[in-house]
Amino acid sequence: QRVLDDKYLQVSVTLYGDRRDFAQSTFIMLTQDDRKIMPSHVRSDATAERTSAWPKSPAYRAKVVASFAYGDFDPLAKTQLSVFPRTGGEISFDLDFAAIP
């Protein structure tokens, strides 16, 4: 019931990097057609956890969670999730919210 009452969709992304603080200031955004949908809130692990590969790469794992207001996006539209790490670059994924049961 708590999930149904929530006004925000939370999108969680797990990232891997080589420094304990690599996930800080990571930004997440949704795009539908030409419309950019900004999150209401983004939070990330301040200190990443060591992976089993440590000290080799990827040495650390962190979670970044973005909250998007349900009224800000169309759940039936083609959607792209973009992740912008602090170190630069962009990682994008296509999403299909309509396929979620």
Half-sphere exposure at residue 23, Cβ-oriented, CA atoms within 13 angstroms: 26
Mean local confidence (pLDDT), 50-66:
94
| E strand residue ranges, the chain | 8-17, 27-32, 35-37, 41-44, 49-50, 60-69, 79-84, 91-95
Predicted confidence band of residue 5 (pLDDT cuts 50, 70, 90): confident
pTM reported for the whole predicted model: 0.85
Residue in this structure with the two tokens 């006004």, named with its chain if needed: 7
Q: What is the mean pLDDT of the chain?
A: 91
Instruction: Please tell me what DSSP assigns to residue 1.
Output: -
